[in-house]
Amino acid sequence: MIKKLLIANRGEIAVRIMRTAKEMGIKTVAVYSTADKNSLHVELADEAICIGPPKSLDSYLSIPNIMAAAEVTKADAIHPGYGFLSENPTFAKIVHASGIKFVGPPPEVIELSGDKLKAKEMAKQANVPMVPGSDGAVALMDAKEIANEIGYPTVLKAAAGGGGRGIRIVRDDRELSETIQTAMSEAKSAFGDDRVYIEKFLTNPKHIEVQILSDGKNIITLGERECSIQRRHQKLIEEAPSNSINDKEREKLYQYAIAFAKEINYVGAGTVEFLYVDGDSYFIEINARIQVEHPVTEMTTGIDIVKHQLLIADGESLNIDSKKPKGYAIECRINAEDPVSFMPSVGAVEKLRLPGGFGIRVDTHLYQGYTVPQYYDSLLAKIIAYADTKEEAIKRMQRALEEAKIEGASLKSNIDLHKKILDTTEFKKSEHHVRFLESML
C-alpha cells in the first residue's frame, strides 16, 4: 500500500487530496515555492519541502526539483492534482522509472489524451460522434476546402491545446487566410506544437462531461456534469447532473464515454467531454486527471474520487459499480479578480467568512491573514451546494454566497457575479449555454 504521498501541486487541490490521504492513513508531503511558504497545504502536511522560487517553471513545473523532493522524503507515490504537471507524460514516465507510483493514467494514455487529433482518431474508432471537421492537422488550402464543405463559421483549435487555450473562431475564407498562420504560431509558442485542426463552430452548445473511473479492467461512470457557464472557455459554474438532457440522452453519453475509455485502455479517474446541441452529442476531448469540478460528482454520488484514484494507483480493483446522480449539486468557482475588468486580484485576506450549514461544502486553501500571491491561477475557493432539486440547490447556493466574505484592501472576488448568474431565468430553467455569460455581460 501507498505509505507516503507527495502532492505535486498547491492551493485548494493540494489540501483536498491531503485530507483524503490522511483519512486513508497515508503520510503526506507538501511541496511549495517560496511564494507559498505560508500556504495552508504546507501547514497541514506531515512534511513539507521547498522546491524553488515563485515562478512555476522553477518550482511546480520543475520535474527535477519535484523528483528530488520525493527522493529526500522517501515518498512512494506522487499525486499531480490538476494543472501544472498533471497531464505531462514525461513527468509520469520519470515517476514510474523511479519506482514511485504515479496517481494517474499511464504515460502513454496521458500522451494520447493530450493530443486532440489522436484522441479524435480513437473516438472515431470507438464510434463516438464528433463535431464535423478535419480528420487531422490542416494547412491553409485544406482548411479552406473543409470549411466550405462544413460551412462557416468554423473554429481553429491547437492539437496540443487545453484549458480553453488555442481556440480561434473563423467566419469566412478571408478571415481563415489571415488567422491560420497566427494560430499555428501561437500554438507553437504555447504548446511547443504548431499543428491546428478545424471544426464546425456550433452555435450556443452546452458543455456536458462524464466522470469515469477505471482500474484497467472495469470502467464505471459516476454521472455527468454540466459546465456551460464559462468565460473565455474557462468554466465558472458546474452542475451535477445536467437538467438539459433526458435519461435516454444521458445513457447514450455514458456509453460513449465507456467506449472511448476502452479504446484507449484508460486507467484512473478521467473526464470525457462533449458538446451538446438539440439532442446531439459530440466528443471534444478527455481530461486525464481529476477535474476542478469533481466535488459536484462526489456530492451527488457519495463517491470520494481521490480515494479511488489512490486505490487504483495501488493496484486495487474497483469495488463499486456505476452510480447515477442523486439530488443536485452546484459548484461556484470563487476567483480573485476584479468584478468589472476581470483582471486578476492579489493581496492579503483581511476578512474571511466561509459559508456553512446543511448541504454546503467549501474547498479552499484560504485563511484570514493569508496573502494571495500574484504568480498562480486566481482560484480562491469552490463553494458547493447540494439539495434534492436544482431549484433547492440554487436557493442554498444563494444563501451561501450571501454568507461568504473574502475581502482585503487590494483583494477582490467574483462572488457578486455568481449571484447575478444564479438569479437569471436562463440558469434556473437550464436554458443557458457556453456563450450565455458573454451575452449576459
Q: Any idea which residues carry the catalytic annotation?
A: 289
Residues facing 286 on adjacent strands: 272
| Block residue for cell numbers 491573514 | 369
**Residue closest to 236 by CA, chosen among 376, 360, 355, 334:** 334
Query: Does residue 77 sit in helix, strand or coil?
Result: strand
The radius of gyration of the chain's CA atoms, rounded to the nearest angstrom, is 21
What are the beta bridge partners of residue 205? none
- And the C-alpha cell for 139? 494547412
Which of 273, 289, 292 is CA-nearest to residue 281?
Answer: 273
Torsion angle in degrees (nearest 10) through CA of 217, 252, 231, 366: -40
Indicate the DSSP class of residue 132.
S
Count the helices and strands in the chain (H runs, E runs).
15, 20
Retrieve residue 62's grid coordinates. 520543475
CA 216 from centroid of its chain's CA atoms: 22
CA distance 119 to 114: 8
CB 83 within 8 A of CB 12: no
Side chain identity at 390, as an amino acid letter? K
Cell digits of residue 232: 473565455
Contact 406, 347 (CB under 8 A): no
Is residue 321 exposed (0-12), middle (13-18) or buried (19+ Cβ within 10 Å)? exposed
Work out the number of other CB atoms within 10 angstroms of the CB of residue 146: 20
Pairing of strands 206-214, 196-200: unpaired
If you write DSSP's letter for every residue of 8-53 in order, what string do you get? ---HHHHHHHHHHHHHTT-EEEEEEEGGGTT-HHHHHSSEEEEEES
Of the candidates 71, 12, 5, 60, the residue with the CA atom closest to the CA atom of residue 333: 12
Instruction: State the cell numbers at 337.
Output: 479578480
